Structure 1
Amino acid sequence: MINKVDLPADRFENPYLENLKAKNFIFGKNGTGKTSISHAILKQYNDQFDIHLFEGFNSVVGDNHILDAISLGTKNASVQPLIEATQKELVEINKDLEPLDDQGTNTYSKLQHIKEQVKQQEKSLDDCYIKSAKKIKNEHQKLVNNFNYNKNCFIKDIQLAHKLTTDEFKVQTSLLNQKILGKVNEVHFPTIEPSNYLQTVNKILEAKPIKLALINFRSKEDQEWARKGLFLHKHSDGEYEQTCSFCGSPLSSERIEELNSYFSDEVKELEIRINNVQEQLKQLKKSISNIMLLDENSFYSKFKQQVTEFNLQVETAKTGYMNFLNKLSENIQTKKKDVFTHVDPINNNIVESLISFNELQQSHNTLLSLNTKYGNNLDESINNARIQLLGNQIAIQLDAFQYTRECQECCVKRETSPA
């Protein structure tokens, strides 16, 4: 309860109002200080009590002509002028947002103008989508896999847009047109250790059979002729003809013994070794000459360069081995003409430059494996190439239309449009 009120000293003789009760009535003529007392009470005790002052009906009643109503309360009455001022502003704003009868300009007319510009810009973009979709559908059907490709499809595919370089375009186009190939004809390389053949031939070249009889022949041809003649005159039971089949002269047992001694078993054994090696070399040269090259048409374009390089290695290897085997054959033939003649062995360096057939076989197997794996995944690769080429074509269409600039202008117009 309020017991005491401090009064303004500038207008009251007694600065205090004391001995107040629960209910107090203060009355007096106008100008005697009733209002000052009520304001003093409000100022001193407003933070402790809920105090309300009545200062005439104008302070609590407001007249709203627009709403055809009145507002009660001190707060409502105090804001009524603000409401009226705001309502006037709203009227002006509404006029600014309504169509004009004359040719003047307001926010409404500006908005309509910008809307028209945006509409034209959007129509221009829409024409771009339609024309671009039609061009891709008619001229690049393989890129879309859709006979009903339209502007909506094009808009959805804009996210794929990117330019390909000339080399990238060639690679992706080649991949898109790639057909699934059949099985590759494999190449098999002979198993050969050139150092073993060289060692075998050198042993023959270095062999020195002993002449057990002293017989002089006029030439190597005569010596070979006599050796063959001795064989032809021998019967199946081991006996020999008594008369020469060529000249009719008698063949003495002494002469046959001398010839057999000259052409001893050591010589025969050496000749057999020579014949065997010659046959091996012959078969080996045949197998090497039969080595086929890989067919480039059986490989996907991605591996054609590798196939070309591989075939070049094979050709080089075949040439090297054929030269090597011919060298062995020539030297051993020289030895065969006269087994008693010394022939220098072949230098071991001849095998160092030869390409390993084992390594070629491994390279061959790897290349075939990659080609087969690529073929198995070709559907996915072709689809990826289609997407890459479609993105490139979309980028070309958008650049021709200056799509980025048009979109930016459209966005600017929308942003500058009045709310």
Structure 2
Amino acid sequence: MTNPSVTPTAAYNKNNFRDDIEFAKELPQSEIDRLEKECLTDKLPNPKQINYPIIDFTSITQKVNDILTKTITPTIQLPEIGNNPEKQAFAKEGMKVHNRDTDNKCAFCGGPLTPERWDELSELFNDAASAFQKEIKTTKQNVNSHKAALEQVELLNPQEYYPAFHNSIMELNQHITNSKDSAIQYLNKLSQLLSQREKQLFTKLDAIACGQPSWKADKLQQNFDDIYQRNSIYGNEIDNRHQRAQQQLRYHYVAKHLKDNDYENKRDSNLIAKKALEDAQTQKNKIE
């Protein structure tokens, strides 16, 4: 790293040095490093704003649990299908790919598709079952929409912020990563359970028992806004910060120069010599 200039002008001279002596103060290396970085920090453009998606996991979980534990009773029992979820899904899919008016034979099994058979299947998958299936689909879309929003959440780029805030950014990024991963895993589980119930329309599933993720959008937003605001203020004050850092470094190097040249002892010796000369002059004046 290039060493920053520590003098206010190129015309810094002995008189300036003499004026700085009373403020001279040595600094630890860590503080020197910090001040040098501050002197060399260029003004940055404002980073982009981030808005963290608000997700009500309590409501979503309640909705999914309602679906998982909901009772849908078929109005007709078809022995060849029974309560087998795979056979039910197969029959439901068959109704989608066949046309009641033109198809008279099942393309999958070769069995006849008579009007009576169509009536039986329609009664099995009646309006209540269809409405329930639509409810599952809508809820799953909602869950996946929240998941997509979380996947779009980016970490803060430290290079867009001043070095003074890099540690805070690292902490926030770690919290975002942990919370985001936990929330996405949870939403994946909800989506999988909804898909399972979609295949088992007439079979209830157990409600979700695990705890909800720790995604707190309001807290993340508060932390981000705080860093963003302080970073903006820092940028607005960067010229003054440069001057203060430059001044502190200059006082450090003045103190170091004085120490290296044994200034204190020499100053004391000069003061003693000056005092002796003054005393001698006083005595001389008395004699005369």
Does 2:242 align with 1:377? no
Name the counterpart of 2:90.
225
Structure-2 separation of matches of 1:141 and 1:314: 36
Name the counterpart of 2:285.
none
Structure-1 separation of matches of 2:257 and 2:146: 63
User: Contact 2:6–2:250 at 8 Å: present in 1 too?
Assistant: yes
Structure 1 residue aligned with 2:138, among 267, 272, 276?
276
Name the counterpart of 1:305.
167
Q: Which has the higher helix share?
A: 2
Name the counterpart of 1:142.
5
Structure-1 separation of matches of 2:54 and 2:47: 22
Q: CA deviation at 1:191?
A: 1.8
Structure-1 separation of matches of 2:137 and 2:73: 20
Query: Structure 2 matches for 1:77-156, cutoff 5 A?
Result: 142-156=5-19
Q: Look up the equivalent residue of 1:233 and give its one-letter code.
A: H
Cα gap change, 1:255/1:193 in structure 2, threshold over 3 Å: closer, same or farther?
same
TM-score (norm 1): 0.62
Q: Look up the equivalent residue of 1:311 and give its one-letter code.
A: N
Q: Look up the equivalent residue of 1:320 and give its one-letter code.
A: S
Query: Structure 2 matches for 1:332-343, cutoff 5 A?
Result: 332-343=194-205
Does 2:207 align with 1:345? yes
User: Contact 2:106–2:113 at 8 Å: present in 1 too?
Assistant: no
Q: Look up the equivalent residue of 2:23 and give its one-letter code.
A: L
Cα gap change, 1:329/1:140 in structure 2, threshold over 3 Å: closer, same or farther?
closer
User: Contact 2:44–2:235 at 8 Å: present in 1 too?
Assistant: yes
Structure 2 residue aligned with 1:413, among 260, 273, 279?
273
Does 2:104 align with 1:243? yes
**Unpaired runs of at least 5, structure 1:** 1-138
SS at match of 2:201: coil
Cα gap change, 1:355/1:220 in structure 2, threshold over 3 Å: closer, same or farther?
closer
User: Contact 1:181–1:300 at 8 Å: present in 2 too?
Assistant: yes
Q: CA deviation at 1:252?
A: 2.5
User: Contact 1:169–1:389 at 8 Å: present in 2 too?
Assistant: yes
Structure-2 separation of matches of 1:179 and 1:141: 12
Structure 1 residue aligned with 2:183, among 317, 321, 335?
321
The structure that has the greater radius of gyration is 1
User: Contact 1:160–1:390 at 8 Å: present in 2 too?
Assistant: no
User: Contact 1:160–1:387 at 8 Å: present in 2 too?
Assistant: no
Structure-2 separation of matches of 1:216 and 1:147: 98
- Could you say what the CA RMSD is over the residues aligned between the two structures, in angstroms? 1.9
User: Contact 1:285–1:325 at 8 Å: present in 2 too?
Assistant: yes
Structure-2 separation of matches of 1:339 and 1:329: 15
Seq. identity, %: 24
Which one scores higher on RCO, CA 8 angstroms, separation ≥ 6?
2
Does 2:25 align with 1:162? yes
User: Contact 1:303–1:371 at 8 Å: present in 2 too?
Assistant: yes
CA deviations on 1:138-187 (whole Å, 9 max, x unpaired) are x9771113222221221122122101112221221111111111111222
Q: Look up the equivalent residue of 1:163 and give its one-letter code.
A: E
**Greater mean alpha carbon deviation, residues 284-293 or residues 214-223:** 214-223
CA deviations on 1:32-53 (whole Å, 9 max, x unpaired) are xxxxxxxxxxxxxxxxxxxxxx
User: Contact 2:76–2:124 at 8 Å: present in 1 too?
Assistant: yes
Structure-2 separation of matches of 1:332 and 1:140: 62
Does 2:45 align with 1:182? yes
Name the counterpart of 1:331.
193
**Unpaired runs of at least 5, structure 2:** 282-288
Q: Look up the equivalent residue of 2:241 and give its one-letter code.
A: S
Q: Look up the equivalent residue of 1:243 and give its one-letter code.
A: N
CA deviations on 1:263-303 (whole Å, 9 max, x unpaired) are 11111011101111111122211110110011101111111
Does 2:79 align with 1:216? yes
Name the counterpart of 1:4.
none
Q: CA deviation at 1:250?
A: 4.0
Structure 2 residue aligned with 1:354, among 209, 214, 219?
214
Structure-1 separation of matches of 2:113 and 2:151: 48
CA deviations on 1:347-394 (whole Å, 9 max, x unpaired) are 2x522x513111101111111000000110111111111010000000
Q: Look up the equivalent residue of 1:146 and give its one-letter code.
A: T
Q: Look up the equivalent residue of 2:58 and give its one-letter code.
A: S
User: Contact 1:242–1:252 at 8 Å: present in 2 too?
Assistant: no
